[in-house]
Amino acid sequence: MTDILDDFDENELSLLETFDHVLSRGLVISGQITISVAGVDLIYLGLNVLLSSVETIKEILLSREEAHAEISAIGSAANQLQKPE
Partner 1 sequence: MSLYAYCLGDDIKLEMIGSSGVAEAPVYLIDTRGLAAVVSDFDGAMVPVNRGAVLSHERVVASILAATTPLPFRFGTLVSQEKLESYVESNFEKLLLQLNRVRGSVEMSVKIIWRPEKKDDEGAERSRVVSAETGPGSRFLMAKRRELEESESLKEHGEEIASWLASIVECCVRESVVQVRPGGSLALSAAHLVERHRLEEYRHRVSAGLAERIALRFLTSGPWPPYSFCDLSG
Contacts with partner 1 by CB under 8 A lie at: 1, 3-5, 13-15, 17-29, 32-37, 39, 41-42, 44, 47, 52, 54, 58, 61-62
Q: What secondary structure letter does DSSP report for 51?
A: S
3-state secondary structure of 82: coil
Shortest Å distance, C-beta 14 to partner 1: 7
Shortest Å distance, C-beta 72 to partner 1: 15
Quote the CA–CA distance of 2 and 58 in Å, as a whole number. Answer: 18
Shortest Å distance, C-beta 18 to partner 1: 5
Q: Nearer Cβ to partner 1, position 14 or 72?
A: 14
Element (H, E) at 37: strand 33-37
Q: Nearer Cβ to partner 1, position 21 or 68?
A: 21
Quote the CA–CA distance of 62 and 47 in Å, as a whole number. Answer: 26
Contact 13, 5 (CB under 8 A): yes
Q: Nearer Cβ to partner 1, position 78 or 80?
A: 78
